[in-house]
Amino acid sequence: LNVALPSGKRKVLEVAESSKVGDLKFLAQQQFQQGFLRLITAEGHVLSDLEESLHTAGLQDEDHLTAVVQHAKLAATGKAFALWCFGGDKVVTWGSPQGGGDKSPIQQELKGVQQIQGTWHAFATILEGGSVVTWGQPDYGGNSSKVQDQLKNIRQIQATSNAFAAITTDGSVVTWGDPHWGGDSSAVQSRLRKVRDVQATDRAFAAILSDGSVVTWGNPDYGG
């Protein structure tokens, strides 16, 4: 198989017919000395299923693939880390299992990761298409089931220590987590329209709207 980087650097990779996409990807990462690569066929298909056989993926000898280098990013809670790449399907976590270090319950849902944000003990990630997956301590935002039907077309997530705030593509805001730490925006929800950006302190959120005005919620002593 012929694999090339966009820069023009090329490698000819030899793999067994019984190999899987994951085997090819691992070999490519070794040969190009890059920790994260995305393999794309000549037809533009992204080889994302690491367990898929090369035969099922439609790959044959002498086929040409493009290897796109992905730059790793880090997110953190108070007790765990998450390593990921934009658009990737793999997230590596470590640290306290109760603080977000164990993503095993939702591992299969992590497809096309766009952003990961952390509170003190939980992570929230935006996936391709704008859906959201959370894990970690429920009281810290690790359980988003109460607002899951609202978590669509999300473009940005911000966090206090115990709560998350997500901005949708139409400029509305969805919050969850500890209500005393910004997880309850019901008192100002009607004003959260055409939101451009959200920032957070330890226990409060502030949103700037398209007209330049600002809306805050959370603990008053922390800017809410």
Task: Return the number of other C-beta atoms located less than 10 Å from residue 186's C-beta.
Answer: 9
Question: Who has greater pLDDT, 143 or 50?
Answer: 143
Model's pTM, two decimal places? Answer: 0.80
| 204: pLDDT strictly greater than 90 | yes
Answer for the pair 160, 141: CB distance below 8 angstroms, yes or no.
Answer: no
* Average pLDDT value for residue range 77-104: 92
What per-residue confidence (pLDDT) applies to 201? 98
What per-residue confidence (pLDDT) applies to 49? 82
Two tokens, residue 74: 């880090």
| 111: pLDDT strictly greater than 90 | no
Question: What percentage of the chain carries pLDDT values higher than 90?
Answer: 75
What per-residue confidence (pLDDT) applies to 70? 81
What distances in angstroms separate CA 101 from CA 89, 110, 124, 203, one per listed residue?
17, 15, 12, 23
User: Out of 6-10, 44-48, 76-80, 189-193, which region has the weakest mean confidence (pLDDT)?
Assistant: 44-48
First to last CA, the chain: 57
| 196: pLDDT strictly greater than 90 | yes
Task: Return the number of other C-beta atoms located less than 10 Å from residue 202's C-beta.
Answer: 15
| 200: pLDDT strictly greater than 90 | yes
What per-residue confidence (pLDDT) applies to 143? 96
Q: What is d(CA 168, CA 30) in angstroms, rounded to the nearest whole number?
A: 39
Residues 45-88 have pLDDT tens digits of 888 888 899 989 889 888 899 998 888 899 999 999 999 988 88
* Average pLDDT value for residue range 173-189: 97
The 3-state DSSP class for residue 98 equals helix
Per-state percent for the chain, helix, strand, coil, to nearest 5: 20, 40, 45
Residues 154-170 have pLDDT tens digits of 999 999 999 999 999 99
Q: What is d(CA 135, CA 6) in angstroms, rounded to the nearest whole number?
A: 35
What per-residue confidence (pLDDT) applies to 17? 82
* Sheet order of strands, 122-127 included: 113-118, 122-127, 132-136
What per-residue confidence (pLDDT) applies to 88? 81
Two tokens, residue 4: 């090339």
Two tokens, residue 90: 């793999």
Local confidence band at 185 (pLDDT 50, 70, 90 cut-offs): very high
* Average pLDDT value for residue range 116-138: 97
